[in-house]
Amino acid sequence: MAFELTEEFIGVLQDCLKIPDSNIAVLELVDEIPEQDLSAILYELETEEAVALLNILSTEKSAQVISELDTDIRLKVLKNYSPEEIAAFIEYIDSDDAVDIINELSIKTGEEVIAFIKNPEKADHIIDLLHYDEDCAGGLMAKELIKANLNWTIDRCIEEIRAQSKNVDKIFSVYVVDDNMRLLGILSLKKLLLSDDNSLVGDIYEPSIESVESYRSGTEVADLMRKYDLETIPVVNIQGKLLGRITIDDVIDLITEQADLERQMMAGISNDAEENDSVWLLSKSRLPWLIVGMIGGILGAQFIGLFENVIHQVTAMAFFIPLITATGGNVGIQSSSMIVQSLARDSSYIGMEFHRFWKGFLVSLINGVAISSLVFIFNIVLKQEIDLALTVSIALFCVVLVSSFMGTITPLFLFRFGVNPALASGPFITTANDLLGLGIYFSVAHLLYTF
């Protein structure tokens, strides 16, 4: 049964942590709880209580809990430990996660932690990974894996796997390499177990294997693993030498982070902000696009002022301004969101602009005819002047077409120039389409009422 975090449980745990010599009682409470749920518990505790709980747990379990924490909480917790104690945690954490933790520390503390790591192989792995950017394949990979030389017998291969598996939590497959550590293929565990002890690895391995170079972006890795439905993928260098592996959980973390960032950008939040950030950071992340929206509103008000004489002639026109701006904003966000979603799923989408433009135009044409017709009928039913009904309907039709075009072209344009296209799906599109919508509305009104 899944663990359910309740206020009652947190209260009982906090009471136990306050009692001296209550280690046994605390362990009875949390002993069967998975590390992922224990990390969620730490969010509900004060830093001192979180540290007290980690000190009661085994070093191995505490290490796994720490690796599950968000950066802010983890840094607060690790400030209570010496570099030597942090190194003891690192011993039980996969090298890719260990590098993430060390990168969060100060340079001095990080170097001290590496110096205190007792396992020289682990220390070497971490030093190797520190050279890679965190969002490329090299930065996502873990050095711990199972590999076998193609000249080994099955009997020796099994013995080697037993030795190598001490540092590997999950074994998905065995990678086959030559004497120069070049990746040749993959050996399934099923074939390994069913083959004769004296058979050679080179006779039974599968030479076809998907791999990724260490310099590839995390997005490319995610696309490849999604395309071929992979749980893990090996990482190689330019020469094809096996460097490490990336597991699906690391890719899911990357995709989640990117999705969170894009969602924030679409909402007009300029930086990677979280709810538990300081008031200043949260304000700073939201303020830029609020200012853009404010400037757009001021420009819109000035724009309306230019057509003051038209509004004086037909006062009822002012009633439909919210309809024009809201429709333009909604259509633009719908179009841009579809484009951003397609670009995130397949970057080759950029090569099919004409087909997408034509399809988007037909969709907006149908939507424009439907919406403008409904508004025209609505105005006639309410016995509005025929000129006003025509003005609103024609303007609304044009606004739908223009807003759809803007929502389609803007993210593609940004993508072409290396800017995150999610930026186009929030206040940028809304503000731009408000101004365009008002311009179209009053221009149509000016033409109809002038002539």
For the chain, give every domain's residue range.
7-133, 147-255, 279-450
* DSSP state at residue 286: H
Here the contacts of 235-240 (C-beta below 8 Å, separation 24 or greater) are: 235/137, 235/138, 235/141, 235/211, 236/183, 236/211, 236/212, 237/213, 238/213, 239/182, 240/182, 240/183
Q: Is the pTM of this model over 0.85?
A: no
Say how far apart CA 321 and CA 129 lie, in whole Å. 57
Residues 53-94 have pLDDT tens digits of 999 999 999 999 999 898 888 999 999 999 999 999 999 998
Asked whether the beta carbons of 214 and 137 are under 8 A apart, the reply is: yes
pLDDT tens figures, 135-187: 889 989 989 888 999 999 999 988 888 888 777 777 778 999 999 999 999 99
Residue 253 to residues 134, 249, 399, Cα–Cα distance (Å): 12, 6, 40
pLDDT at 354: 61
Distance CA 445, CA 391 (A): 6
User: Is there a common fold for 7-133 and 147-255?
Assistant: no
Q: Rounded to whole angstroms, what are the CA distances from 78 to 82, 105, 152, 213, 215?
A: 8, 9, 44, 33, 31
Listing DSSP states for 436-450 in one string gives HHHHHHHHHHHHHHH
Distances (CA, A) of 337 to 174, 265, 342, 343, 426: 41, 12, 9, 10, 9
* CATH number for region 147-255: 3.10.580.10
**279-450 maps to which CATH number?**
1.10.357.20
Residues in the chain: 451
Pairing of strands 242-247, 232-236: antiparallel
Name the CATH superfamily housing domain 7-133: MgtE N-terminal domain-like (1.25.60.10)
User: Do residues 444 and 317 touch, judged by C-beta distance below 8 A?
Assistant: no
* More reliable by pLDDT, 315 or 199: 199
